[in-house]
């Protein structure tokens, strides 16, 4: 994912992604916009991205750098267009997208 922002139209929804611009990305914001107006949001992080956050927090003394959590956060092996599309499709097929992604209005 070299470009930081992408959009993809899928049957029944649109997928909007904004990555951090690094190559490879360490995190990305993902919004799923359904045709009925519902919007769900998640932040994807790679393990390396989480490690960088923890290291920075330890350096600053924030949360002692011991843990990282947030609603709507999903850790993925890597951030790619194909991987994000597969993640969303899999969560939808398993009926878990509404749980893993938070309402966009809450963000």
The residue count of the chain comes to: 107
* Per-residue confidence (pLDDT) for residue 65, from 0 to 100: 84
pTM: 0.87
CA distances from 35 to 13, 14, 46 (A): 6, 8, 29
Q: Using the predicted structure, report yes or no on whether residue 4 has a pLDDT greater than 80.
A: no
57 φψ region: left (φ > 0), alpha (ψ -120 to 50), beta (else): alpha
The arithmetic mean of pLDDT across residues 30-58, rounded, is 96
Q: Using the predicted structure, report yes or no on whether residue 34 has a pLDDT greater than 90.
A: yes
* Per-residue confidence (pLDDT) for residue 33, from 0 to 100: 97
Binned at pLDDT 50, 70 and 90, residue 3 comes out as low
Binned at pLDDT 50, 70 and 90, residue 106 comes out as confident
Backbone angles phi, psi at 70, to 5 degrees: -170, 145
Q: What average pLDDT does the chain have?
A: 92
Q: Using the predicted structure, report yes or no on whether residue 52 has a pLDDT greater than 90.
A: yes
């Amino acid at each position: 994912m070299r470009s930081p922002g992408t959009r993809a139209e899928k049957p029944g929804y649109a997928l909007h992604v904004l990555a951090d611009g690094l190559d490879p990305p360490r995190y990305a914001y993902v919004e799923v916009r359904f045709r009925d107006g519902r919007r769900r949001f998640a932040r994807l992080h790679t393990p390396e991205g989480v490690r960088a956050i923890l290291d920075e927090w330890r350096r600053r003394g924030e949360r002692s750098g011991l843990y990282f959590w947030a609603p709507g956060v999903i850790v993925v092996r890597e951030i790619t267009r194909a991987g994000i599309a597969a993640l969303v499709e899999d969560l939808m097929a398993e009926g878990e997208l509404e749980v893993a992604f938070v309402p966009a209005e809450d963000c």
